[in-house]
Amino acid sequence: MSAYEQQAESIYNRLLELESGAEPNQLFLCSYLLGHISLISAEQGESALQFNQRVEQSLDDAFKVDKLSDEDVSDIRSLWLQLSETAK
């Protein structure tokens, strides 16, 4: 398993754990990120850094078109940062 795949699996599993006991707002954040993680996981890559960069690009692209509040965007970015740093 490549570092890319390991990073994807680690973050995906952590999100599932968070989602299982999440309150409504946290549930939304987890679900939003799970969608992006699933899509990026299907791509090929070599490193954890490459995976993280692709997720960040996916989020940036989605935030341009999704009608999310500034607070939601901030909360999603914060959760993503937390997950990407602890999964290394």
**Segment 55-71, tens digit of pLDDT:** 999 999 999 999 999 99
* pTM for this model (two decimals): 0.90
**pLDDT band for position 15 (cuts 50, 70, 90):** very high
Q: How many domains does the chain have?
A: 1
Give φ, ψ of 46 to 5 degrees.
-110, -40
Packing angle of the helix pair 24-41, 48-65 (nearest 10 deg) = 120
Packing angle of the helix pair 70-86, 3-20 (nearest 10 deg) = 120
Structural domain range at position 35 = 3-86
Average pLDDT estimate for 30-57? 94
* Amino acid at site 88: K
